Amino acid sequence: MIDLTLTELKDALARGDFSARELTAAYLQRIREHNGTLNAYITVTEEQALAAADASDARRARGEAGLLEGLPVAHKDIFCTRDVRTSCGSLMLDTFNAPYDATVVARMADAGAIMLGKTNMDEFAMGSSNETSYYGPVRNPWDTARVPGGSSGGAAAAVAGRLAPAATGTDTGGSIRQPAALCGVTGLKPTYGRVSRWGMIAFASSLDQAGPMAHTAADCALLLQAMAGHDDKDSTCVNEPVTDYCAALSGDISGLTIGLPEEFFPDDLDGRIADATQAVVRVLEQRGARVAKVSLPSVALSVPAYYVIAPAEASSNLSRFDGVRYGHRCDDPADLMDLYKRSRSEGFGEEVKRRILVGTYALSHGYYDAYYLRAQKVRRLIRDDFKRAFEQCDVLLGPTSPELAFALGSKKDDPVTMYMADVFTIAVNLAGLPALSMPAGFIDGLPVGVQLIGNYFDEGRLLNVAHSYQQETEWHRQAPALGGTA
Amino acid sequence: MSWETVIGLEVHVQLATRTKIFSGASTAFGAEPNSQACLIDMAMPGTLPVVNHEAIRNAVRFGLAIGAKINQRSVFERKNYFYPDLPKGYQTTQLEAPIVGAGEVEIRLEDGSTRTVRIHHAHLEEDAGKSLHEDFHGMTGIDLNRAGTPLIEIVTEPDMRTAEEAVAFARKLHALVTSIGICDGDMSQGSMRFDVNVSVRKSGDPLGTRTETKNLNSFRFMEKAIALEIRRQIDLLEDGGTVQQETRLYNGDSNTARAMRTKEDANDYRYFPCPDLLPVEITEDDIEALRASLPELPDARRDRFTRDFGLPDYDAEIISASRDMSDYFEQAAEHAGDAKLAANWMLGEMSARLNAEEIGIGKSPVSAAHLGQLIQRIKDGTISSKIAKQVFDACWQGNGSPDEIIEREGLKQVSDTGELEKIVDGIIADNAEQVAAFKAADEKKQKKMFGFFVGQAMKATQGKANPQQINQLLQKKLQD
């Protein structure tokens, strides 16, 4: 049963092929066998999962099945989960049991989903390889010597390795799409404000957005249906009616115009990735889509603008981790300054400290205009670029990542090269647009992902285009050989 | 050449909203530590602020009350610094785009002259928690009940020249914010706190270096702290020294102040727009609706009291400064049928009692209706002014209405001429010596001696004799 998609599992549960308890037990077994290798989970909530599965079976027996009834999911450890450790991949929160559930967690539970555990991630979602986690790196199920991408690397590896049929992720600069691409799963970053950020530990508030990760676009549609919608607790969560995403999956894309931004196909792009991307375009053309060339000239500035704005917001967001109320506190502080300095020096890892310093610098007196304000101007230019592009086309398409899964440790000491891993994904966050990554083939046994970018609140169309592609291809059904029971 | 003082104020006004500015926790004062701090106030990971619209409306009301420009789009920013009672590591406040723009407040000084103090702007922000240093044996306790309480910070231009002006401004602001109901005005609970910027210069010179004395929470401390700082700066400069730009802390108990931090240790607050909150948008219609809902402001009320009730400027100024006083006054005046007497009683007997018991007029045990009745009884001759004070006391003790008290305790004035005449005759008969002396004395001496006879008459009637009648009778009988 673990090779079924979420949508298929939903149908099988509805038919009574197996119970939620049997399904949950199968995934827990799978986690026991492979999490030691993959390190995809920080915390496995076995007892709660089985109890929740029993409750779900009882609900179904009473005829009260919700949208995600009995379906196991894994939550990224950035989402607060009541009375369950919520570490954010950091020593700082190693002992932190959240006193409440994030809106995403609560809504999925209300829809009947069963939490298997909390997935590994780059510390405070800062990283593109999952190597900055305090709990050690996650390994790519397709090649355990390679990274799964990040920051939602644990989520991507868990889905790819069949340690969960679906997972939640968050995406600030590509943290859902890039690991989805590197692990061969489908992942959607919704429009900024589509999904509530309440209970999602903030990295860069104006960029962070939660979204689903699963095998197929149809699975993501199902998950987004449960996650999306207005929330009084998040002022930036938009009060816009939620599309019926599942109903949007007609598979019909005739007459659709796909824009290919020239900036997403630079001369130095890995030719194999360019070819795989063009192959996707051909499939979509065969299914009735038209292609247009477009340009997003300001996208070249997105990485530098992002690495001002995101660290600036992070430097402020992470100030609350001061050793006073919760989280890591140093032993025997001599005075208040010592408490702050040592608690934060010990509690945060290198990459987090680097970004706090960068952000503090960017906001400091005399530099604010040159860095932060300038980056905000770039952000407007990028938004305008996309706006113009969407006057000519319905969706944009390009590679998700400029490279395949790289070897563990290969970029650890070169942060700037690491930052370039998000060169195709970051502009989307700066503009607040929805975007999706879907499996588009393999190169040397490693998955390639292709990114689709949509207009604001056009998640339904994005999912339908991916669904149409997945009706035609089998890349999303491939499973890595991890061995063990199936 | 003489020294001139230049004073500007920053005033924190706690808004009287039921809940906090960014959370649903209660703002009530005096609860158990941390019992009114919710997940948001404690800055739990993953929590987000949602703005309290009542706080926004209150800020707009204030802006309208001082004739300020209301910015229809204002922006919350983060002011970043570490302090244990600042749970998020930043204060959410406004900087570049405050909700209230420039306005003006007119103050009236004791000599009747007026002065205009310009308001630079007023912005919305959240209060911090409190650090508790007692009872923790070398450690510090943190109480986050106050964290997130809505404030407006009002920043003036440096338009005041004396401590008296600064205090007059502070009182005027107090009158304004309490009149429009956006602040309870309770200084003892920190509902209004003043930061005072003071500099001195020789007249005509450019502005001198200023210091800021923070967190003054009474008018008296404010006046003393300013006087102290003016003296300190002048002494420094006259001794050839220079004033350092610094933040100072005033101790009211010892009337001393000390430097807290200098400009060099100033934080870089790294302000930037808060990405968790949308800009605050206010429509023209919202503004007009709030304008229409404003009650009569203190200045208008003062003018009406002098015009319609004939109150002296000074009385009108004091009564109009408080909405409770004003409401009480208008009711008492109506019941009494005499506004001036009502004002006299309020500012005399009533104020003395209120001050002694440290309560506001809203909690006075003597209601406006009772005070009005009391004044009526003086006017219709039922009791004398002297007896009235006794009745007022009894009424204050809760012994009933003035009429009940007068009746029960038999305090009615004796105005029966026959009865009074008998008493006066008795006094003249019993005091033959004094009567003889009186008759022998010249007019000037007689005036002095007259009081003795009045006193005897009052003693004989336990104060209830109608003083006018007694006077007339005595005049007549003694001259015979």
What number is the average pLDDT over the span A256-283?
A: 97
Q: What would the mean pLDDT of B153-167 be, rounded to a whole number?
A: 97
Q: Is the dihedral of CA A354, A356, A360, A362 positive or negative?
A: positive
Contact, A90 vs A352, CB < 8 A?
yes
Q: CA B439 to CA B4: how far, in whole Å?
A: 64
How far apart (Å, rounded) are the C-alpha atoms in residues A75 and B477?
A: 106
How confident is the model at residue B466, as a pLDDT?
A: 81
- Chain A nearest-CA distance from B12, in A, is 24
- From A171's Cα to the closest Cα of chain B, the distance in A is 15
pLDDT, tens digit, 9 for 90 and up, residues B274-286: 999 999 999 999 9
Task: Tell me the CATH class for A6-256+426-477.
Answer: alpha beta
**Contact at CB, A322 and B89, closer than 8 angstroms:** yes
Statement: residue B415 has pLDDT above 80:
no
Whether residue A250 lies in the annotated active site: no
Following DSSP, what letter does each residue of B27-68 receive, concatenated?
A: --TTPSTTTT--TTTTT-TT------HHHHHHHHHHHHHTTP
Contact at CB, A319 and B270, closer than 8 angstroms: no
A324-332 mean pLDDT? 96
Structural domain boundaries of chain A? 6-256+426-477
Mean pLDDT of all residues belonging to chain B:
92
> Highest mean pLDDT range out of A327-336, B313-322, B461-470?
A327-336
Average pLDDT over residues A202-209: 98
The backbone torsions φ and ψ at residue B358, rounded to the nearest 5 degrees and listed phi first, read 50, 50
Contacts of A88 in chain B (CB under 8 A): 45
Nearest CA in chain B to A326: B44
Contact assignment for B45 to A313 by CB distance below 8 Å: no
pLDDT bucket at B438, cuts 50 / 70 / 90 = confident
**pLDDT score of A29:** 97
Could you say which of 1.10.10.410, 3.50.50.60, 3.30.1330.40, 1.10.760.10 is the CATH number of the domain covering B417-479?
A: 1.10.10.410
Tell me the chain B residues in contact with residue A365 when contact means C-beta distances shorter than 8 Å: 268, 270
- Under an 8 A CB cutoff, do A201 and B276 touch? no
Predicted local distance difference test score (pLDDT) of residue B323: 87
Is A341 considered catalytic here? Answer: no
Query: Which has the higher per-residue pLDDT, A14 or B387?
Result: A14
CA angle B15, B20, B24 (to 5 degrees): 145
pLDDT > 70 fraction of chain B, expressed in percent and rounded? 99
Question: Given A10, A56, A76, A189, which residue is catalytic?
Answer: A76
A100 neighbourhood in chain B, CB within 8 Å: 39, 44
Catalytic site residue from A175, A298, A343, A437: A175
Å between A234 CA and nearest CA of chain B: 6
For the stretch A73-119, pLDDT in tens is 999 999 999 999 999 999 999 999 999 999 999 999 999 999 999 99
Tell me what the mean pLDDT of segment B422-426 comes to.
85
Test B39 with A100 for CB contact under 8 angstroms: yes
Residue A196: active-site member: no
If you measure CA to CA, which chain B residue comes closest to A363?
Answer: B270
Residues of B near A (CB-CB distance < 8 A)?
Answer: 39, 42-51, 78, 80, 82, 84, 87-90, 140, 142, 268, 270-272, 275-278
pLDDT of residue A485: 45
The distance of A415 to chain B (nearest Cα, Å) reads 25
pLDDT surpassing 50 at residue B254: yes
pLDDT of residue A486: 40
How far is Cα B316 from Cα B307, in angstroms, rounded to an integer?
Answer: 10
Mean pLDDT of B40-49: 98
Closest CB to A205: pick one of B45, B268, B276. Answer: B276
Which of A172, A322, A369 best tests the B interface by mutation, with the highest count of B CBs <10 A?
Answer: A322
Contacts of B386 (CB under 8 A, 6+ apart): B463
Residue B434: its pLDDT value, please?
Answer: 85
State which residue of chain B sits closest to A360, comparing Cα positions.
B270
Q: Element (H or E) spanning B121, and its range? A: strand B114-126
Q: d(Cα A110, Cα B116) in Å, to the nearest integer?
A: 60
The two structure tokens encoding residue B45? 């990971």
Residue B1, pLDDT score:
64
Cross-chain Cβ contact B44/A100 below 8 Å: yes
Mutate one of B22, B48, B91, B278 to test the A interface: name it (highest A CB count within 10 A): B48
pLDDT at B86 exceeding the cut of 60: yes
A387 within 8 A of A363, measured Cβ to Cβ: no
CB contact under 8 A, B46 and A98: yes
A484 has a pLDDT exceeding 60 = no
The confidence score (pLDDT) of residue B407 equals 87
Catalytic one among A151, A401, A437, A468?
A151
Q: CA nearest A371 in B: which residue?
A: B272
Q: Residues of A at the B interface (Cβ-Cβ below 8 Å)?
A: 79-80, 86, 88, 93, 96, 98-100, 102, 197-202, 204-206, 232-236, 312-313, 315-316, 318-322, 324-326, 336, 340, 360, 363-365, 368, 372
CB spacing of B45 vs A98 below 8 angstroms: yes
* Amino acid A374: pLDDT: 97
Check B272 against A368: CB less than 8 A apart.
yes
Whose tokens are 């994005």? That residue is A462
Predicted pLDDT at A61: 97
Per-residue pLDDT at A191 exceeds 80: yes
Q: Could B80 and A319 be called an inter-chain contact, meaning their C-beta atoms sit closer than 8 Å?
A: yes
Sheet of B114-126, strands arranged across? B103-108, B114-126, B150-156, B3-14, B192-202, B211-216, B246-251, B256-262
pLDDT confidence of A483, banded at 50, 70, 90? Answer: low
DSSP codes of every residue in A273-293: HHHHHHHHHHHHHHTT-EEEE
| CB-CB neighbors (< 8 A) of A199 in chain B | 46-47
Residues in chain A: 486
- Sequence spans of domains, chain B: 3-288, 296-408, 417-479
Residue A205, pLDDT above cutoff 90: yes
Answer whether B90 sits within 8 Å of A319, measured CB to CB.
yes
Collapse the DSSP code of A450 into the 3-class scheme (helix H, G, I; strand E, B; otherwise coil) and give the result: strand
Q: Which residues of A touch B140 (CB under 8 A)?
A: 336
Report, as an integer, the average pLDDT of B351-372: 92
Residue B111 has what pLDDT?
Answer: 86
